[in-house]
């Protein structure tokens, strides 16, 4: 059944309201905490303009007051919107709007962290496939060698995450410091990559996310993005896939089911052709067998007639 042209995915409606990111909305929906007009919703459901969307009984409305913040996160602050966690980034900023972080910086790391209530742009930025760059300066406990740089650039296997990192840009800054530009956001990615090669990360600072640079923003301070930065950010993600992981998974599942259906139809068609061919071959064999038996009987009758005629002549 075709979707109503005015409807949108429920997770997008929630993220557009500024309540949380689309991925976080998927979790809320999956846990049965989201209702439309009083009815509990499930993943993949859609919302219409004017629907009453609630999370835990709280009405969700579209937020026209969009906020974009650049924070120089200090070491020790945790990237979470769970305010029960001591030292969470939301309480640290203490903004009047409900905002959430774009990606993460682990607790021992510092540097640039984007915060916003624009859930749509969050999903676009977080898609590794969109090749959105993030730049870091990293200090290690050992000398940076050419071999280290080569291996870091060409992908490191992370067995615990069951993946190999994508190729990336890496350059030496000094004997113990290197610069790296990633298009991924794996959990503790840089630290894990270094650990694999026997290096320990002593300091890690993110200095750029796409067109947004940390610059000279003091540690622990934040600022609103400039109109030019917001425009550049929106332009950079304008062609990006902005569906959530669950949406993409469902889409892949639909495509897989279609492929399987197509395959089954091809298989059924092939089987029917084979059955028809088998029936035709079997029928031809039976016809040949009947023709052979008929010929044999004619030969026998003919031979018998000659013998009988021979005896009476």
**Cβ(95)–Cβ(70) below 8 Å:** no
82 included as an active-site residue: no
b/e per residue, 226-251, with b = 16+ CB within 10 A? eeebbeebeebbeebebbbebbeeee
The contacts of residue 174 (CB under 8 Å, 6+ apart) are 144
Q: 87: alpha, beta or left, given left = phi > 0 and alpha = psi -120 to 50?
A: left
**What's the token pair of residue 186?**
């794996």
Radius of gyration of the chain (CA): 34
**Cβ(254)–Cβ(3) below 8 Å:** no
Task: Give the whole-angstrom CA distance, residue 184 versus residue 135.
Answer: 11
Residue 26's closest CA among 250, 249, 244? Answer: 244
Task: Give the whole-angstrom CA distance, residue 248 versus residue 142.
Answer: 41
Task: Give the whole-angstrom CA distance, residue 95 versus residue 103.
Answer: 18
Q: Which of 106, 118, 251, 268 is catalytic?
A: 106
Instruction: Please identify every residue annotated as catalytic.
Output: 106
């Amino acid at each position: 059944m075709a979707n109503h042209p005015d409807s949108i995915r429920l997770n997008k409606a929630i993220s557009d309201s500024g309540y949380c990111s689309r991925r976080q909305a998927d979790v809320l929906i999956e846990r049965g905490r989201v209702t439309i007009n009083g009815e509990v919703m499930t993943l993949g459901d859609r919302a219409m303009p004017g629907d009453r969307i609630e999370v835990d009984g709280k009405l969700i409305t579209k937020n026209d007051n969009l906020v974009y913040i650049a924070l120089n996160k200090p070491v020790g602050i945790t990237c979470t919107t769970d305010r029960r966690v001591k030292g969470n980034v939301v309480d640290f900023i203490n903004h009047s709007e409900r905002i959430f972080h774009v990606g993460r910086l682990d607790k021992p790391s510092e540097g640039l962290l984007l915060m916003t209530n624009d859930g749509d742009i969050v999903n676009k930025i977080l898609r590794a496939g969109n090749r959105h760059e993030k730049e870091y300066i990293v200090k290690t406990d050992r000398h940076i060698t050419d071999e280290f740089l080569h291996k870091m650039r060409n992908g490191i296997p992370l067995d615990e995450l069951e993946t190999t990192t994508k190729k990336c840009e890496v350059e030496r800054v000094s004997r113990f410091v290197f610069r790296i530009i990633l298009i991924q956001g794996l959990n503790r990615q840089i630290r894990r990559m270094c650990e694999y090669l026997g290096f320990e990360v002593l300091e890690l600072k993110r200095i750029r996310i796409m067109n947004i640079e940390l610059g000279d923003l003091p540690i622990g301070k934040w600022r609103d993005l400039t109109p030019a930065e917001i425009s550049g950010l929106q332009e950079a993600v304008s062609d990006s896939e902005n569906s959530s992981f669950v949406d993409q998974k469902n889409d892949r599942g639909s495509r897989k089911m279609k492929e399987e259906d197509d395959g089954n139809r091809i298989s059924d068609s092939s089987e029917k052709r084979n059955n028809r061919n088998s029936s035709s071959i079997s029928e031809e064999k039976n016809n040949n067998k009947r023709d052979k038996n008929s010929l044999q009987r004619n030969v026998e009758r003919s031979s018998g007639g000659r013998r009988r005629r021979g005896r009476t002549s």
